[in-house]
């Protein structure tokens, strides 16, 4: 149990286009989902915290108009990278916290974004 999926796993796009990444909790409900960005050989950097039915909370330095986050249901959060540029190329990972008292987060397999 506690599986989180991400789609797509890889995406290549042209500079200036927008890309949507989906994060789904497959067998549990997640009140809170998190979006992270990971550069090669580095740790995960939290971008934003997404709560179902409310606006996402962005970390300092993350442009909310560029990285649009929607958490429309208890099993789905989406991250849209708008007007992507080469510097947005990265590995994006989501995690989901199950509703209730469990303390751990469950991570998706990640999405490799390459912007040409």
Question: Using the rule CB under 8 A, is 103 a contact of other proteins?
Answer: yes
Minimum distance from CB of 16 to other proteins (Å)?
Answer: 26
Answer whether the bond into residue 5 is a cis peptide, omega within 30°: no
Burial of 105 (0-12, 13-18, 19+ CB in 10 A): middle
Of 31 and 82, CB closest to other proteins: 31
Question: Using the rule CB under 8 A, is 83 a contact of other proteins?
Answer: no
Burial of 87 (0-12, 13-18, 19+ CB in 10 A): exposed
Question: Using the rule CB under 8 A, is 61 a contact of other proteins?
Answer: no
DSSP structure class, residue 83: S
Q: For residue 74, what are its two tokens?
A: 């208890």
Of 39 and 83, CB closest to other proteins: 39
Which residues contact other proteins (rule: CB under 8 A)?
4, 6, 31-32, 34, 41-44, 46, 49, 91, 93, 95, 97, 100-110, 112
């Amino acid at each position: 149990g506690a599986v989180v999926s991400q789609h797509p796993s890889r995406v290549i796009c042209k500079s200036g286009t927008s890309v949507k990444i989906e994060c789904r909790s497959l067998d549990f409900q997640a009140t809170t989902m998190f979006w992270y960005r990971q550069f090669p050989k580095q740790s995960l950097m939290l971008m934003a915290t997404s709560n179902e039915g409310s606006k996402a909370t962005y970390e300092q330095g993350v442009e909310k108009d560029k990285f649009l986050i929607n958490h429309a249901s208890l099993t789905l959060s989406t991250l849209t990278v708008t007007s992507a540029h080469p510097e947005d190329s990265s590995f994006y990972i989501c995690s989901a916290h199950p509703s209730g008292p469990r303390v751990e987060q469950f991570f998706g397999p990640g999405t490799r974004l390459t912007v040409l």
